[in-house]
Amino acid sequence: MRSLFFSILFFFVSSSLWAQYTIRGKVADAETGDPIAFANVILKGTTTGITTDFEGNYVISTRALSDSLVVSYLGYITQSKALSDQLEQIINFQLRPSDFELEAFVFEAGENPAFEIIRRASERRKDFDKRSLSAYETKNYTKIEIDIDNLSEDFRKRKSVQKVTHVLDSIQELTNDEGEKILPVFFSETVSKFYYRNNPELRKEVIEKSKVTGVGITDGSTTSQITGSVFQEYNFYKNWLSILNKDFISPISDGWKSFYDYDLLDSVLVGQDTCYKLQVYPRREQDLAFTGTIWIKKEDYSLKQVDLTIPKAANLNFVDRIKIQQELGPSSAGPLIPSKTRVLIKIAQVTDDTAGLLAKFYTSTDSVIVNQPKETKFFNQAVELKPDFGMAEESFWEANRPDPLSSEELAVLQMVDTLKKIPIIRFYSEGLKFFATGYKPIGKIDIGPWPGFFNYNDIENVRLGMGLRTNYKFSKKWELKGYLAYGFGDMKWKYAASATRILDRSRWTTAQVYSNKEIDQVGLEIANLQSNSVFLAASRFGTLRSPYFSTNHGLNVQREFFKGFLVKAGVNVGQFDPLYDFYYLEKDTREYRSNFETTEIRAGIRYGRDEIIIINDNERSSLGSLKWPIFEVNYARGMRWLGGDLEYQKLSLYVYQRINMGLLGVGRYELDAGKIFGEVPYPILKNHLGNETLFYTTAAFNTMNFTEFTSDQYFSIRYRQSFEGFMLNSIPLIKRLKWRFVGNANVLWGSVKDYNIENVPDVDPEGNPLKTFGRLDFGNPYLELGYGVENIFKFFRVDFFHRMTYLDNPGAKPFHVKISAQFIL
């Protein structure tokens, strides 16, 4: 009995001595509710601790407790919570961001030890860059949430907002009582396959399943094409990362030492890998560079994970915070593939009485296959939707989500679904779409465009118009459009009508017939402005220059034969009826004529090697090219057939490219060249667009007068440079204003053949003088140079232009000041 007693006593004593305490929980951002990965969690007064995983979770097992648990992370206010004497307990933390300020570093003699680590990591970039693979494909899960935040009291007191705040208050907060209220407006989940091929560099994403809910979202097909992972790629092995159309320098780029300082914090175990933990800081706080923490493996100097933010002082507008967290894993061939990426973009309030915007992006990647390239034709469409992309049971999402939706995310879904049903929300969201697109959907038709409802000019006086078009609900194979307008000054009707048949969506193939009668202006080429309804409507206000009635009937066909290569052809029968004093001499009889008819056959090609195209309902929309130029070649032949009066040929070439230049910012150039063969009246020639207004525009030569020059052969280069913060970021006081330097250089060569000069008389048949056209000497190009500053008070831009040639022309001015307003980040 005595031995049994001592055995039981020993059991209880040893159990208390060897008790295992388990503390678990989650660390999140108090403002956004997002998890904070890689935060330090430690028992106060001890060395026992751990870092949170990518989802912000932690688990600490220990045999001895302290009185409290402390959580800390750079950029956040350290927080501690008391511990209780329990074997298992759950303690969650919500950390508030702190105003992070860069510190000055002073190193003793010798090189900063972090530099050698970064130098080796930079030297081995090609070994681990996924772009070095011949091909790779991944299965991705992408989640996007967009919220309205910074709901100030002034904003909440607005009558229109008060109708929804009581709904917001009735639903569980998206963070706990330490967080901030947010108003969710969009949530999406997407499962997709992403494909990459090198040489040539091609990308494609196939959306397998997508679930989209959002205020103002009526058709998920268009939205689903931009909610996948193709638009959420962040590769720190590139020198420059493009975020919000801005270029940010990578901490392991070739030029790392010019942009960053580093601090070696520790050597830590991350999973099974021993890593160097380094803090990174921009040398100049206004530069587009990161601050935060990176982990580099000791074994091979590859990136293990990153947690980086953009400093608030960076030369960006309206952006309060950008945060990127990423985990990387090796592929079977060696180069790294991001396994998880989380991005948070917080847009600040434009004014104190408005709200801000919060966008969250999460991508998880698995099922990686490398070096098995697909055929080039497979990449014909950059983003492809599977036929049943929007049809999936909840069981599918439960099986394909890396982690279940959190209670906060479920509350987001509840809130968005509720908001969509509130009339005032529907009114504002549909009104915003109406303003942006120009059309108001009503069932199977759209009414618009609104800029054409009312115009006023010296020919028509008051002009009223209305248009209709069918949408995808009517048909995904047919698009019908019509527009009718009436001018009360000239008492004439104008109209436009077209019918488009979509024959193939995968290799975009369409056939269109059209007919229109409209007032046009020599040099504006309104036929090329149909996609810009606002600019088109603005051209119909005020004094019309060299106006004429343009009547056209025709047929257009187009087909994309392979990715980026679009071929188009057509025929057009047109009529030119001038509304100003215009005459030309008929080629054979040399008789005076004031109007003419044309019959043209047309052909053209467009090629954008890496241009991203999405299908927007029944139309194609370009999201731009990544790094290659976009080419367009067009040919037209005028024939004396079906009533045509003129014989001629027109050949033109257009090239556009946006060039990311890193430290120097972004450059854009447009090359435009053409030649017209045959004797024709000058409205058929190239009438170069000038700008006599006070406002700067990229569409015109800003020191040239309207219709000042005409050419039948021409070549122009228009270049503009946005230097971002280059130069001005280094000037004291100026750098706090966040001004950005810009530059322009526009050159035009042109000439007119003698026979096209001679067919324009100086006087009309009654002997009255006629307005003719100006012309260039091909050996003496037209040149204008400009420079200026943008981002003045965040919205305004001022450009100073010098006209360098043809200063003796009537009305020519050597110096121009142009202003403009813009909304840029």
Kindly report, residue by residue over 582-620, the tens digit of the pLDDT: 999 988 888 999 999 999 999 999 998 878 777 777 888
CATH 2.40.160 domain span(s) along the chain: 486-821
Tokens of 604: 């053209």
d(CA 45, CA 651): 79
- Predicted confidence at residue 15, as pLDDT, reads 43
CATH 2.60.40.1120 domain span(s) along the chain: 16-95
- Predicted confidence at residue 178, as pLDDT, reads 40
Provide the percentage of residues in the chain whose pLDDT is more than 70.
86
Burial class of residue 108, CB neighbours in 10 A (0-12, 13-18, 19+): exposed
Return mean pLDDT, the chain.
Answer: 84
- Predicted confidence at residue 104, as pLDDT, reads 43
pLDDT, tens digit, for every residue of 711-748? Answer: 999 999 999 999 887 777 777 777 778 888 899 999 99
Distance of CA 643 to the CA centre of its chain: 46
pLDDT at residue 9 is higher than 60: no
Select the more confidently predicted residue: 107 or 728.
728
Confidence of residue 537 (pLDDT cuts 50, 70, 90): low
- Predicted confidence at residue 8, as pLDDT, reads 44
Confidence of residue 1 (pLDDT cuts 50, 70, 90): very low
Which H or E element spans position 227? none
CATH topology of domain 486-821: Porin (2.40.160)
- Predicted confidence at residue 75, as pLDDT, reads 76
Burial class of residue 629, CB neighbours in 10 A (0-12, 13-18, 19+): middle
Q: Does domain 16-95 have CATH number 3.30.565.10?
A: no
Question: Do residues 678 and 638 lie in contact, with contact meaning Cβ atoms separated by under 8 Å?
Answer: yes
pLDDT at residue 288 is higher than 90: no
User: Which residues are paired to 352 by β-bridges?
Assistant: none
Q: Which long-range contacts (CB under 8 A, 24 or more apart) does 51-57 make?
A: 51/268, 51/270, 52/26, 52/27, 54/305, 54/325, 54/327, 54/340, 54/342, 55/26, 55/403, 56/26, 56/27, 56/28, 57/24, 57/25, 57/26
Per-state percent for the chain, helix, strand, coil, to nearest 5: 15, 45, 40
Provide the percentage of residues in the chain whose pLDDT is more than 90.
41
